[in-house]
A and B are shown apart, each in its own frame.
Chain A
Amino acid sequence: MSIAQLEMPAQSAIVSRGLWRDAARRLRRNRAGMVGLVLIALFVFVAIAAPLIAPYGPNVGRIQDKFLPPSPEHLLGTDLQGRDLLSRILFGARSSLYVGLLSVSIGFGVGVTYGALAGFIGGWIDFWAMRFVDIVLAMPGLLLTIAIVVWLGPGLDRIAFAIAVGNMPIFARIVRSSILALKESDFVLAARSMGASSPRILLAHVLPNALTPVIVQATLTLATAIIDAAGLQFLGFGDQDPGIPEWGAMLTDTFRYIQAGATFTALFPGMAIVISVLGFNLLGDGLRESLDPRLKR
């Protein structure tokens, strides 16, 4: 094999389309990831378009219509207060999406900043910052979240904040470990030799390269955030006066009356949670595989 032949494929490999375009290409070929994307698109569409597609308002109902079985008027039947279950599920997508996005944004923002600074500064600041993370992670999972919600009081915003506090240490750890590896790399040395300031190196060179694993984590965290929020609503920490229905709270309500005449459609808010969470889990796995092709099974 001549040298020219060897160089040909190498040449074409150098023409890179960039990390993200490569990843997007691989994601498009990842069947599970695409299914996840479709489920999420559906979830977001329902959340946005709920007033247009829902046959009734979420809080409209007559008490004499309670627990109607599925019918052409009420495709999934009605609940205890005679409200249309389908409409309430469609509107419920709003609160789930809201809680997921809000909690992940807070957890991501604070966690990434914290972990990036700790890893980049290093030394004893890093050491103590990480010990604090160890302490928070040693607390029993959902109990920390519950304690915070008890402290702040019930409500969707507070639930989101409490879940975010539980997720911050995870984001911080992941970012820190990537940054520790990256800050020793040649391109950082090159940037420093060009006279780039530390903040510039961190923001322009190190951080963008460290974000890949956190973005995967953020997608998977959206899934757990929706589940945790539903769990907290199940325990009674949802909005006390919910203008917008919550899937977790709906599930508790309808299940309580399942012997009193509620039909199997009481299960459907739970199915809605499973489908939306499944979407984020599938996309998260797909993203992980397409951002890091070595993981491909």
Chain B
Amino acid sequence: MLKFIVRRLIMLAPILLGLSLVMAFFLHLLPGTPCANILGERATAAQLQKCEHNLGYDRPPIVQWADYVVNAVQLDFGTSFSGARLPVLDAFLQRFPATIELTLAAMLFAVGVGIPLGIAAAKRRQSLLDGAATVVSLIGISIPIFFLGLILVYVFGVWLHWLPAGGRFDLREFDFKGAGTNFLLWESLVIDRDPAKFLDVVGHLILPGITLGTIPLAFVMRITRSAVIEVLNEDYVRTARAKGLSARRIDSRHVLRNALLPVVTVIGLQSGLLLGGAVLTETVYSWGGVGTWLFTAAVDKDYAVIQSGTLLLASVFVLVNLAVDVSYAFLNPRIRYA
């Protein structure tokens, strides 16, 4: 098992190296250099040349890439050109907690609704409930995420005033300057021990969580349904019934334990995707996560952020996938990674 993890971690290096090379090549294809953005439109050719020389953009691309890799290995991912001109890693660490909290909320919604709905649909196949669940999952994957977000904002935020329409907390009521971890759930509950603050943060998570969680919900529901149907037909379930076990015991010990294995994979993969940044959801709810961060960087042609932000997120994605594979082996003793 340990061997498997180590080997997968070693495999990570060539993928990230390749990704950084592709990104470097891609950025080289962009017309101009970041200097044009730094100096503005009225910069003279001499100024541009000097800036390019100082920042090393006049060197051959392969040298620039090698330089980048050497720095990145030492966790120096360059500095953002726009805004507060933070080192990219600092900016990433500041933004990523917001994305993690949003992902958690979305997956909680997807799992909390998707699994019970999938089980219920599987046990009453062809019923009204099954049909309704199928329709919900179809609409879930057919509705543009920003459209759903806008509807929810309009109905619950603007019209009914039940929930906040955007942001991570009520700026007029609270501030989060203390600990600076940017994990607001953690800070409000554990560090500040302020229930009102915590509830405010939770309230701000509801609508974005539902919006972002709708697509994973559809997948989780579908997989749960088909897995439960498959397990219900297994011999060992029939044996359990024949032994006279109670329905509840069969469900919890025999059906769910086996049916939830593929569901775990889907949950893991979806979480990995969501951690990659939800540009549209974050835009609708003015959520300061990595999605809007990279989006702005792409629009501003902020090279360092595009290059390293993509790399950092890809690492997270690959690591989450590895965690999924490992957890799978723990949940299913029949799988042994040699």
Co-complex (A, B): yes
Give me the interface of A with B, judged by CB distance under 8 Å.
131-132, 134-136, 138-143, 146-147, 150-151, 223, 227, 230-231, 234-235, 248, 251, 255, 258-259, 267, 270, 273-274, 277-278, 281-282, 297
The answer to whether B138 and A143 touch across the interface, beta carbons within 8 angstroms, is: no
Given the known inter-chain contacts A135-B18, A135-B22, A147-B306, please indicate yes or no for A141 contacting B276, CB distance below 8 A. yes
Residues of B within 8 Å of A267, CB to CB, are: 151
Q: Which residue of A lies closest to B277 (CB)?
A: A140
Tell which of B66-74, B242-250, B292-300, B324-332 binds the partner. B292-300
Given the known inter-chain contacts A251-B147, A297-B226, A297-B229, please indicate yes or no for A134 contacting B15, CB distance below 8 A. yes
Residues of B within 8 Å of A248, CB to CB, are: 144
The answer to whether A135 and B15 touch across the interface, beta carbons within 8 angstroms, is: yes
Residues of B within 8 Å of A138, CB to CB, are: 15, 19, 314, 317-318
The answer to whether A142 and B280 touch across the interface, beta carbons within 8 angstroms, is: yes
Given the known inter-chain contacts A141-B273, A143-B279, please indicate yes or no for A150 contacting B298, CB distance below 8 A. yes
The CA of A277 and the CA of B14, in the complex, are separated in Å by 38
The answer to whether B154 and A258 touch across the interface, beta carbons within 8 angstroms, is: yes
**Size of interface on B: residues with Cβ below 8 Å to A:** 41
Q: Which residue of A lies closest to B150 (CB)?
A: A255
Supplied contacts A147-B26, A147-B298, A227-B145, 15 more A-B pairs, CB within 8 Å? A131-B15, A132-B18, A140-B314, A142-B280, A143-B279, A151-B29, A223-B141, A230-B146, A259-B158, A267-B151, A270-B143, A273-B147, A274-B144, A277-B144, A297-B229
Given the known inter-chain contacts A223-B142, A227-B144, A251-B150, please indicate yes or no for A142 contacting B19, CB distance below 8 A. no
Q: Which residue of B lies closest to A267 (CB)?
A: B151
Whole-angstrom distance from the CB of A164 to the nearest CB of chain B?
A: 16
Tell me the residues in window 133-171 of chain B with beta carbons closer than 8 Å to chain A beta carbons: 138-139, 141-147, 150-151, 154, 158
Q: Which residue of B lies closest to A251 (CB)?
A: B147
Whole-angstrom distance from the CB of B139 to the nearest CB of chain A?
A: 7
Residues of B within 8 Å of A150, CB to CB, are: 298-299, 301
Whole-angstrom distance from the CB of B281 to the nearest CB of chain A?
A: 10
The answer to whether B226 and A274 touch across the interface, beta carbons within 8 angstroms, is: no
Q: Which residue of A lies closest to B147 (CB)?
A: A270
The CA of A132 and the CA of B19, in the complex, are separated in Å by 9
Residues of B within 8 Å of A235, CB to CB, are: 279-280, 283, 295
Whole-angstrom distance from the CB of B221 to the nearest CB of chain A?
A: 14
The answer to whether A277 and B298 touch across the interface, beta carbons within 8 angstroms, is: no
Residues of A within 8 Å of B158, CB to CB, are: 258-259
B1-43: CB near A (< 8 Å → 1, else 0) gives 0000000000000110011001000100110000000000000
B313 at the interface (CB under 8 A from A): yes
Q: Which residue of B lies closest to A230 (CB)?
A: B144
The CA of A158 and the CA of B151, in the complex, are separated in Å by 28
Max chain A CB contacts within 10 Å: which of B14, B22, B144, B314?
B144
Q: Which residue of B lies closest to A36 (CB)?
A: B138
The CA of A134 and the CA of B29, in the complex, are separated in Å by 21
Whole-angstrom distance from the CB of A120 to the nearest CB of chain B?
A: 23
B182 at the interface (CB under 8 A from A): no
The answer to whether A274 and B142 touch across the interface, beta carbons within 8 angstroms, is: yes
Pick the contact of A136 from B22, B143, B277, B279 — CB < 8 Å?
Answer: B22
B94 at the interface (CB under 8 A from A): no
B265 at the interface (CB under 8 A from A): no
- Listed by A's residue number, 13 A-B pairs whose Cβ atoms lie within 8 Å are A139-B314, A140-B314, A142-B280, A143-B277, A146-B279, A151-B26, A227-B142, A230-B146, A231-B146, A231-B279, A235-B295, A258-B154, A297-B226
Max chain A CB contacts within 10 Å: which of B146, B229, B301?
B146
Whole-angstrom distance from the CB of A54 to the nearest CB of chain B?
A: 23
The CA of A134 and the CA of B317, in the complex, are separated in Å by 12
Residues of B within 8 Å of A259, CB to CB, are: 158
Residues of A within 8 Å of B144, CB to CB, are: 227, 230-231, 234, 248, 270, 273-274, 277
The CA of A227 and the CA of B146, in the complex, are separated in Å by 10
Pick the contact of A281 from B29, B141, B291 — CB < 8 Å?
Answer: B141
Whole-angstrom distance from the CB of A277 to the nearest CB of chain B?
A: 4
Given the known inter-chain contacts A141-B273, A142-B279, A255-B150, please indicate yes or no for A135 contacting B19, CB distance below 8 A. yes
The CA of A258 and the CA of B150, in the complex, are separated in Å by 11
Whole-angstrom distance from the CB of B243 to the nearest CB of chain A?
A: 28
B310 at the interface (CB under 8 A from A): yes
Residues of A within 8 Å of B294, CB to CB, are: 140, 143
Whole-angstrom distance from the CB of A155 to the nearest CB of chain B?
A: 15
Residues of A within 8 Å of B15, CB to CB, are: 131, 134-135, 138
The CA of A136 and the CA of B291, in the complex, are separated in Å by 18
The answer to whether A255 and B279 touch across the interface, beta carbons within 8 angstroms, is: no
Query: Which 3 A/B pairs are nearest by Cβ-Cβ distance?
Result: A140-B276, A270-B147, A278-B142
The CA of A131 and the CA of B317, in the complex, are separated in Å by 16
The CA of A273 and the CA of B26, in the complex, are separated in Å by 32
The CA of A297 and the CA of B147, in the complex, are separated in Å by 31
The CA of A132 and the CA of B18, in the complex, are separated in Å by 8
Residues of A within 8 Å of B29, CB to CB, are: 151
Max chain A CB contacts within 10 Å: which of B26, B147, B158?
B147
The CA of A270 and the CA of B152, in the complex, are separated in Å by 13
Residues of B within 8 Å of A251, CB to CB, are: 146-147, 150
Whole-angstrom distance from the CB of B302 to the nearest CB of chain A?
A: 11
The answer to whether A234 and B146 touch across the interface, beta carbons within 8 angstroms, is: yes
